[in-house]
Amino acid sequence: MNVPGFHTDQPDQLDQASRTGRSGGDVIRPHAEDAFAGELAALAAADDRPRPERWKLSPWAVATYLLGGVLPDGTVVTPKYIGPRRVVEVAVSTLATDRALLLLGVPGTAKTWLSEHLAAAVSGDSTLLVQGTAGTTEEAVRYGWDYARLLAHGPGREALVPGPVMRAMARGATVRVEELTRMPADVQDALITVLSEKTLPVPELGEEVQAVRGFNLVATANDRDRGVNELSGALRRRFNTVVLPLPATHADEVDIVARRVAQLGRSLDLPAVGDGTDEIRRVVTVFRELREGITADGRTRVKSPSGTLSTAEAISVVTGGLALAAHFGDGVLRAGDVAAGILGAVVRDPVADRAMWHEYLETVVRERDGWQDLYRACREVSS
Ligand SMILES: Nc1ncnc2c1ncn2[C@@H]1O[C@H](COP(=O)(O)OP(=O)(O)OP(=O)(O)O)[C@@H](O)[C@H]1O
Ligand SMILES: [Mg+2]
């Protein structure tokens, strides 16, 4: 492929990727269905339960893929989502009905992550995606036109450029809509006919595209965005809403962070996190205490920062710390490697957050047994 103004040393790879729609082995972040192709194949082979039309796996196997387990042949399926089993079961079984699924929750509760893995397990393809923003147009949700063809041949099927929703309807696959409530209300409403009538009219051609069995839609929306573009009642009724909770316990959250950091670390060639678990525990403790406004022992009230301190931020702080330890330290994650990251995550408002952070450092971190190294490291970057 020769794209003017686009230089690449590996035209073959680009060509290959554009032909197959599949990424090679060297991409930074493979799609879930590629990253976990082995597990998905093993599950499909072991799965003897009934599969809804066009599903790659039975609902039971999809839930096992998401929650992890061991198959009869000994294959270990790693957990993707760590949280209540019931949440996953409701999400998966919703997709087997005619109702769409809305994953709702505060930032960093794995809404996007879960929707990607759901689509990968159910349809074998997580790439049919509409990203909701204030600028998302109706064409992005429905279809567009290839203007060169339109001018040359007039309106016709050949000139129609189907969007991800239309492609999923025609194929009987799962389509994902990210950040549904960030899209303008009239654009959201383009989904009403799709979800209730299972059809997408193309009035310009006097035609329609009807959804075939297997089609469904997973949307995500952020709790905090409520009010930006509230979901219309008409649209909300078309969804089953599943609220994703924050990790219930300290141990769950440490587990999530350790697993994701290990995965990310492998793809970035960072050292194994084995020796860093103590540091992960401390980062998670700090985040949970500040989020909940009280220390883990329930004795001291602390102020919460203005921004959210989600599990996703804890994952970034630890991954950043590992990179520091690998490239500028001795390869072992230490307090000094995570201190700057914690400060960056906590202090978003330079005045209010800085005062609250200072108070937490002096009253909690400083006084805690075995936390002197973290106290010193945080003081050093805070000053
Ligand atoms: N319960 C959980 N199980 C597994 N991974 C989790 C969990 N909670 C958070 N994560 C991890 O946190 C990261 C961020 O999650 P994700 O981006 O899906 O959050 P989100 O809910 O979509 O947030 P936002 O509202 O900001 O879009 C992912 O890497 C995910 O693996
Ligand atoms: Mg998200």
Quick: pLDDT tens for 164-223: 999 999 999 999 999 999 999 899 999 999 999 999 999 999 999 999 999 999 999 987
Angle between helical axes of 85-95 and 59-67 (0-180°, round to 10): 140
329 CB-contact burial (10 Å; exposed 0-12 / middle 13-18 / buried 19+): middle
Strand-pair partners of 70:
76
End-to-end CA distance of the chain: give it in Å, rounded.
Answer: 53
Q: 85-243: which CATH architecture? A: 3-Layer(aba) Sandwich (3.40)
Q: What is the pLDDT of residue 11?
A: 45
**Do residues 148 and 248 touch, judged by C-beta distance below 8 A?**
no
Of the listed ligands, the closest to the CA of 318 is 1
Q: What is the pLDDT of residue 229?
A: 64
Domain layout of the chain by residue ranges: 85-243, 250-382
CA of 141 relative to ligand 1 center, distance in Å: 24
Sign of CA dihedral 14, 15, 18, 20: negative
Mutate to test the pocket of ligand 1, among 104, 112, 181, 261 (most ligand atoms within 8 A of CB): 112
Q: Is 346 in the pocket of ligand 1 (CB under 6 A)?
A: no
What's at 209, amino acid-wise? V
Instruction: Provide the 10 A C-beta neighbour count for residue 19.
Output: 9
Q: Is 307 in the pocket of ligand 1 (CB under 6 A)?
A: no
Q: Which atom of ligand 1 is nearest to the CA of 220?
A: 22
**Do residues 176 and 132 touch, judged by C-beta distance below 8 A?**
no
Sign of CA dihedral 257, 259, 263, 265: positive
- Supply φ then ψ for residue 77, to 5 degrees: -100, 120
Residue by residue, DSSP assigns 279-318 as: HHHHHHHHHHHHHHTB-TTS--B-PPPSS---HHHHHHHH
108 CB-contact burial (10 Å; exposed 0-12 / middle 13-18 / buried 19+): buried
Of the listed ligands, the closest to the CA of 114 is 1
CA of 305 relative to ligand 1 center, distance in Å: 20
Q: Is 112 in the pocket of ligand 1 (CB under 6 A)?
A: yes
Among protein residues, the one whose CA lies closest to atom 15 of ligand 1: 110
Quick: pLDDT tens for 338-363: 999 999 999 998 899 999 999 999 99
CA of 68 relative to ligand 2 center, distance in Å: 22
Q: What is the pLDDT of residue 64?
A: 98
Q: What is the pLDDT of residue 383?
A: 72
Q: Is 111 in the pocket of ligand 1 (CB under 6 A)?
A: yes
Give the number of residues written for the chain.
383
CA of 160 relative to ligand 1 center, distance in Å: 35
CA of 310 relative to ligand 1 center, distance in Å: 8
| Residue ranges, the chain, pLDDT below 70 | 1-25, 225-229, 273-275
Torsion of CA 188, 189, 192, 198, to 10 degrees: -70
CA of 23 relative to ligand 2 center, distance in Å: 22
Of the listed ligands, the closest to the CA of 252 is 1
CA of 110 relative to ligand 1 center, distance in Å: 3
